[in-house]
Amino acid sequence: MKIAIIGAGISGLMSALELVEQGCSVIVFDQKSAGKAASWAGGGILSPMYPWRYDPAVNLLARHGKSLYIEWNQKLKPVSGIDFEIQETGMMIFDEADFEQGLNYAQKFQEPMQECHYLHQKQIKQINPLISTQFQHALYFPQIANIRNPRLLQSITRYLKQHPQVELIENCCIHQLNKVNGKIQSVTDQNYQHYFADHFVISTGAWSQMWSAQLDIEIPIRPIQGQMVLFKTPQNWLPSMCMNKVMYLIPRADGHVVCGSSMSNCGFDITPDARTQQSILDACFEMVPELTKYPIVKQWAGLRPSSPHGVPYIGKIPNTNNLWANFGHFRNGLCMGPASARLLRQLILNQPTLVDPALYSAERLNTDLLAMP
């Protein structure tokens, strides 16, 4: 079976991995370079940042992220030579308004990733002495990990490029779906070249709305910009991830600290904005004042694929026989990515599914437009 995947972000690349490991032949297209858009730009926290704020369907997929990435890292690293750098640093959350909800959520669901402790200032200092003394209390999630997403994407891309059953075509813009009697026969690129397959997958993230006219169905996805700042500190300088007011600090093993992230509805613009950068810095310096001593080495922005409830569309697209969706993950594409791809593979190959696929059905495209803000 041959499967064509349009879009080589984390959703498309993970889908390719899942399918090729089942013996499928896969061709993957990206309009630019594989894995270099929103998936590269994110922070890589392997949990929704405030899981109790999300639809349960989001958490149902995200809970598999850490374990699946560990499995994939063990498989891909010997071939790619690249470690995903999965770090179980834990996370502190300082939003006092969320304390009760966070503790109740952890107690109700008893998920290992969401193990939660209420900390006083002395306990905070024992775990992370760099936290400002203004924070007297925190929620602490010791098992939340982060993944170094650029390394993750490099590893997957390198693995797929050497695989005999995979063709990865970059800088190739697919602009036409050629549909006959409810079935996609082929797709056409900007040079009018046709590509044929048995099944086709749309994993085009923030750009997914572009297919609405051709499919005669409204796809309620829009780009939401998220801006990031990167510091360089000494190795293993920051002991844990930190979060307050939806702004976060993520330590990397080599001393880089990722700071983010904003939300801005500005179309497809990925130009970093000075005012937004300052708001990120203010929030991060408030949590860890000593960060002001270290240099900013990079700033950037990416485009999240916003969907009405943050629940991705995974499954067969309405009015088609062989066209599948895997898009709309909004802020949680990295942590939902492995389970989303596994579910898609199971649906395409008619296998038992790891979660109820009805929760993510692309049939929701017929109604979700009404929920767009």
Q: Please state the domain extents for the chain.
A: 2-69+150-220+308-371, 91-143+222-306
| Secondary structure class of 255 (helix, strand, coil) | coil
Contact call for residues 345 and 13 (beta carbons, < 8 A): no
**Cα angle: 364, vertex 305, 190; to 5 degrees:** 100
By DSSP bridging, strand 199-202 and strand 323-327 are parallel
Looking up tokens 């979060």 gives 243
More confident residue, 178 or 37: 178
Average pLDDT, the chain: 95
262-318 per-position pLDDT tens digit: 999 999 999 999 999 999 999 999 999 999 999 999 999 999 999 999 999 999 999
Give 367's pLDDT tier (boundaries 50, 70, 90): confident
CATH number of 91-143+222-306: 3.30.9.10
By DSSP bridging, strand 25-29 and strand 2-6 are parallel
- Is the pLDDT assigned to residue 369 strictly greater than 60? no
DSSP string, 289-303: GGGGGS-EEEEEEEE
Which are the contacts of 104, defined by CB distance < 8 A and separation ≥ 6?
A: 52
Cα 362 off chain centre by: 19
Q: What mean pLDDT is predicted for residues 127-139?
A: 97
Q: Which of 300, 303, 272 is nearest to 7 (CA)?
A: 303
71-99 per-position pLDDT tens digit: 999 999 999 999 999 999 999 999 999 99
Give the pLDDT confidence score for residue 366 in this predicted structure: 77
- Residues for the chain: how many in total? 373
CA–CA distance, 83 with 42 (Å, rounded to integer): 18
CATH number of 2-69+150-220+308-371: 3.50.50.60
CA–CA distance, 245 with 283 (Å, rounded to integer): 8
Contact call for residues 304 and 330 (beta carbons, < 8 A): yes
Give 111's pLDDT tier (boundaries 50, 70, 90): confident
Give the pLDDT confidence score for residue 368 in this predicted structure: 67
Q: Tell me the C-alpha to C-alpha distance, in Å, between residue 169 and each of 8, 81, 185.
A: 9, 22, 19
Contact call for residues 37 and 225 (beta carbons, < 8 A): no
